[in-house]
């Protein structure tokens, strides 16, 4: 789809998605919920998983994040060649996933931790787990090619965060057209 047609479609689709969100007047519905079971049914409109309440809270968070990312990837996939900024925003999830993988390997865990997968736009090869060098190979994060020890973990995580901010700023500065100033101001407030 050409960019102008894709942009019109994405705008319409995003508007429809926003109209179903629990924001503004619809947010009141969230405050009438008395349990996590009710929250699950309200937000996801499916059967509540049969798991302990403590785990259900975490599962609600994970499911909401997964659905958001799936919808976002679906929207940007409409473009033949999405704007670099749109795809670079997904680097946040790859970086958060990489932090989880690194922490698990640092702790000598044998099973892969929970990560948010979004196959189409991911820069990492999660199938290569537990080989961290193979997971990051060919990506902008390929420098992360060995398991850090516990003393390095915080430094490595901070380096990943700095790389994300740098990448986003580079993409924002490459944005042109009518949206350029709005995007720059939005990201400036986001990182402030």
User: Do 102 and 181 reside in the same domain of the chain?
Assistant: yes
Q: How many CA atoms lie within 13 A of 177 on its CB side?
A: 5
CA distance 2 to 81: 9
CA distance 160 to 98: 9
Cβ burial 103-129 (10 Å sphere, 16+ → b, else e): bbbbeeeeeeeebbebeebbbbeeeeb
User: Do 116 and 103 reside in the same domain of the chain?
Assistant: yes
Look up the pTM and report it: 0.85
Q: Is the pLDDT of residue 47 over 90?
A: yes
User: Do 151 and 106 reside in the same domain of the chain?
Assistant: yes
Q: Is the pLDDT of residue 84 over 80?
A: yes
Q: How many CA atoms lie within 13 A of 185 on its CB side?
A: 5
User: Do 94 and 174 reside in the same domain of the chain?
Assistant: yes
Range of the domain at 44: 3-82
User: Do 145 and 168 reside in the same domain of the chain?
Assistant: yes
User: Do 44 and 69 reside in the same domain of the chain?
Assistant: yes
In this predicted structure, what is the pLDDT of residue 69? 94
Would the CA dihedral through 13, 31, 66, 52 be positive or negative? negative
Q: Which of 25, 58, 82 is the last residue of a domain?
A: 82
User: Do 101 and 74 reside in the same domain of the chain?
Assistant: no
In this predicted structure, what is the pLDDT of residue 64? 94
| pLDDT tens digits along 138-185 | 999 999 999 999 999 999 999 999 999 999 989 988 877 666 677 777
Q: Is the pLDDT of residue 192 over 70?
A: no
User: Do 51 and 123 reside in the same domain of the chain?
Assistant: no
Q: Which of 82, 110, 144 is the last residue of a domain?
A: 82
Element (H, E) at 89: none
User: Do 78 and 16 reside in the same domain of the chain?
Assistant: yes
User: Do 140 and 93 reside in the same domain of the chain?
Assistant: yes
Number of domains in the chain: 2
């Amino acid at each position: 789809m050409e960019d102008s047609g894709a942009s019109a479609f994405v705008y319409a689709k995003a508007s429809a998605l926003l109209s179903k969100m629990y924001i503004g007047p619809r947010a009141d519905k969230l405050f009438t919920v008395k349990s996590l079971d009710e929250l699950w049914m309200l937000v996801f409109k499916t059967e509540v998983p049969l798991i302990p309440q403590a785990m259900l809270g975490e599962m609600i968070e994970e499911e909401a994040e997964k659905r958001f990312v799936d919808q976002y990837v679906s929207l940007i996939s409409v473009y033949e060649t999405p704007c670099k900024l749109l795809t670079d925003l997904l680097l946040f999830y790859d970086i958060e996933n990489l932090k989880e993988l690194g922490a698990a390997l640092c702790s000598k865990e044998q099973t892969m931790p929970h990560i948010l997968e979004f196959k189409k736009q991911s820069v990492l090869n999660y199938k290569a787990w537990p080989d961290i060098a193979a997971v990051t190979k060919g990506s902008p994060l390929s420098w992360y090619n060995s398991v850090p020890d516990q003393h390095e973990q915080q430094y490595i995580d901070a380096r990943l965060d700095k790389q994300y901010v740098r990448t986003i700023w580079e993409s924002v500065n490459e944005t042109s057209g009518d949206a350029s100033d709005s995007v720059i101001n939005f990201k400036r407030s986001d990182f402030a």
